[in-house]
C-alpha cells in the first residue's frame, strides 16, 4: 500500500504559490507571518460514516470526513458557518477569512471547515483499504461530499441550520450544491472562483491534466509502487498554465513576492517540481473527477436542467468570480447569475486568476473580506 505523507521545503516553493497552496495543504509559513493567526488552534477531527453509498452505487464500509472547528457553538446552536474545502485542501484552508481584521470572528461564530473526499485525509484512494484502494476507489461527486457533510453536521455536531456557507473553487461548487439540495439549510451562500456547473471547457482542461499525469509509464494504470514523479510534474506544469491570468504572467507579478534575482525559469521549475508536495497521484485524479462531474442540474428532481436548479435557490447568494479566472470564467458566472433570484454578482477585479478567490494577494484579501463581511451582515 502506498502511504501519502506530506513533506515541505518552503524555500523551494514560490511565494505566490505558497499563498494558494496554503489553501491546499497546511498553513504556509509566509501566510502565517503576513496575516494574523486565528486565536483558536484547530485540531483535526474525523467523522465516520458506515456503509456510505455513493451516487455511482459503490458502498464504502467506512468513509471518513476530516474537518476542523474554530470558535464555540453557542447554546442555541445557531452561530455556525460552514466552509467546505477546495482542491486537495486541508482544514486550515480558509484562514484568509478568519480572525482579527477579517470577516469571520471566532469570538462570535462557530466555523466548521470540512475536507473533500480524496484529499489524503478524508477517505481517499491513498488511504482506503482494498477493495477500494488506489484506482479502485469510486468516483465521488460534489453531491456525495455534501451528503456526507450534512450527516456530519446533523448527526455528529447536532447542527441543523447554519448562518452561511462560504466556498472557494470546489468549495464554491459545494456551496451551490448545498443551496440546491438543502435550500433552507443556510441563511446565506457565498461562492468565490467557482460555478454551479463544470462546463465542457472545464472538462477539457481537467482531462488534459489527467492525461499528462497518467502518461508516465510509472503510473501503471494507478497501480504504481512508487510515485509517478514525471507524470505529476507534467500535471503540475499544465495546471500552472491555467492558475493565473495571462496578464499576470506578462506583467511578471510573481516578482512582487520573489527574492531579487529570481528568474522565470526558476519559478516555472519550482511550480513543476513542488506544486503540491507529497500529493498522491490517484488522489489528484479522484478530485479532478469530482470537479469535472459537477452539475447542480443533475440533482434529483431537475432532470439535468441547470437553469431550473439555479432558479430553485431560495437564499441570498453572493457570487464572486475572479475577472481573470481561467478555470471558472467570469462569463459562466454571468450566465448562471441570470437564473438566481437573490444573487449579488460581484466579480473580483484582479489579475491573479483563479487564486484571487482565495485572497492570494493583499488587494484581493481586502476586497473579499470587506464584501463578504458586508454581505453576512445583511448590508
> For residue range 52-62, what is the model confidence (pLDDT) as tens digits?
999 999 999 99
pLDDT at 3 (0 to 100)? 30
Grid cell of 1 as nine digits: 500500500
Edge-to-edge strand ranges of the sheet holding 162-168: 45-53, 59-70, 110-114, 80-84, 162-168, 186-192, 317-320, 343-345
The answer on pLDDT for 137 being more than 60 is yes
State CA 246 to chain mean position distance. 22
Query: Domain with 179 in it: what CATH number?
Result: 3.40.50.1820
Q: Confidence class of residue 181 from pLDDT cuts 50, 70 and 90?
A: very high
pLDDT at 2 (0 to 100)? 26
Q: What is the mean pLDDT of residues 111-136?
A: 98
- Tell me if 3 is assigned to some domain: no
> For residue range 75-108, what is the model confidence (pLDDT) as tens digits?
999 999 999 999 999 999 999 999 998 999 999 9
Q: Confidence class of residue 42 from pLDDT cuts 50, 70 and 90?
A: confident
The answer on pLDDT for 150 being more than 70 is yes
The answer on pLDDT for 343 being more than 60 is yes
CA distances from 17 to 2, 236, 351, 357 (A): 27, 12, 15, 14
pLDDT at 257 (0 to 100)? 83
- As beta bridge partners, residue 82 has 112, 165
**Residue numbers of the domain that contains 169:** 10-376
> For residue range 295-314, what is the model confidence (pLDDT) as tens digits?
999 999 999 999 999 999 99
CA distances from 128 to 35, 141, 146 (A): 36, 17, 20
The answer on pLDDT for 26 being more than 60 is no
- Tell me if 1 is assigned to some domain: no
Whole-angstrom distance, CA of residue 218 vs CA of residue 2: 14
The answer on pLDDT for 32 being more than 60 is no
CB 27 within 8 A of CB 92: yes
* Residue located via cell numbers 492558475: 243
- Tell me if 216 is assigned to some domain: yes
> For residue range 251-293, what is the model confidence (pLDDT) as tens digits?
999 998 889 999 999 999 999 999 898 999 999 999 999 999 9
Domain tally, the chain: 1
- Tell me if 4 is assigned to some domain: no
| Residues contacting residue 47 through CB under 8 Å, at least 6 positions apart | 64, 65, 67, 148, 151, 152, 156
- Tell me if 372 is assigned to some domain: yes
Determine the 3-state secondary structure of 184 from DSSP: coil
Amino acid at each position: 500500500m502506498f502511504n501519502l505523507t506530506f513533506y515541505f521545503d518552503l524555500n523551494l516553493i514560490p511565494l505566490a504559490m505558497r499563498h494558494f497552496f496554503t489553501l491546499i495543504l497546511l498553513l504556509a509559513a509566509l501566510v502565517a507571518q503576513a496575516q494574523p493567526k486565528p486565536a483558536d488552534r484547530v485540531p483535526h477531527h474525523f467523522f465516520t460514516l458506515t456503509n456510505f453509498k455513493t451516487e455511482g452505487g459503490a458502498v464504502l464500509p467506512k468513509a471518513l470526513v476530516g474537518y476542523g472547528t474554530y470558535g464555540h457553538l453557542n447554546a442555541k446552536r445557531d452561530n455556525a458557518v460552514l466552509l467546505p474545502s477546495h482542491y486537495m485542501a486541508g482544514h486550515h484552508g480558509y484562514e484568509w477569512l478568519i480572525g482579527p481584521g477579517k470577516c469571520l470572528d471566532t469570538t462570535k461564530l462557530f466555523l466548521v471547515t470540512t475536507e473533500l473526499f480524496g484529499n489524503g485525509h478524508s477517505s481517499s484512494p491513498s488511504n482506503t483499504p482494498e477493495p477500494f484502494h488506489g484506482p479502485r476507489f469510486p468516483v465521488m461527486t460534489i453531491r456525495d461530499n455534501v451528503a456526507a457533510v450534512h450527516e456530519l453536521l446533523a448527526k455528529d455536531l447536532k447542527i441543523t441550520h447554519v448562518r452561511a456557507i462560504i466556498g472557494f473553487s470546489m468549495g464554491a461548487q459545494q456551496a451551490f450544491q448545498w443551496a440546491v439540495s438543502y435550500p433552507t439549510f443556510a441563511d446565506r451562500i457565498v461562492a468565490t472562483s467557482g460555478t454551479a456547473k463544470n462546463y465542457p471547457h472545464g472538462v477539457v482542461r481537467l482531462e488534459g491534466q489527467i492525461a499528462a499525469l497518467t502518461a508516465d509509464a510509472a503510473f501503471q494504470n494507478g497501480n504504481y509502487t512508487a510515485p509517478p514523479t514525471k507524470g505529476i510534474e507534467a500535471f503540475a506544469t499544465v495546471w500552472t498554465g491555467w492558475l493565473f491570468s495571462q496578464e499576470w504572467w506578462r506583467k511578471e507579478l510573481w516578482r512582487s513576492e520573489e527574492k531579487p534575482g529570481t528568474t522565470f525559469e526558476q519559478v516555472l521549475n519550482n511550480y513543476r517540481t513542488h506544486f503540491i508536495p507529497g500529493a498522491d497521484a490517484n488522489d489528484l485524479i479522484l478530485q479532478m473527477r469530482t470537479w469535472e462531474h459537477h452539475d447542480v442540474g443533475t440533482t434529483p428532481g431537475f432532470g439535468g436542467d441547470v437553469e431550473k436548479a439555479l432558479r430553485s435557490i431560495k437564499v441570498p447568494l453572493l457570487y464572486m468570480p475572479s475577472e481573470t479566472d481561467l478555470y471558472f470564467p467570469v462569463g459562466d458566472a454571468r450566465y448562471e447569475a441570470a437564473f438566481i433570484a437573490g444573487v449579488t454578482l460581484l466579480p473580483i477585479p484582479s489579475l491573479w486568476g483563479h487564486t484571487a478567490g482565495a485572497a492570494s494577494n493583499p488587494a484581493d484579501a481586502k476586497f473579499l473580506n470587506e464584501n463578504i463581511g458586508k454581505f453576512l451582515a445583511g448590508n
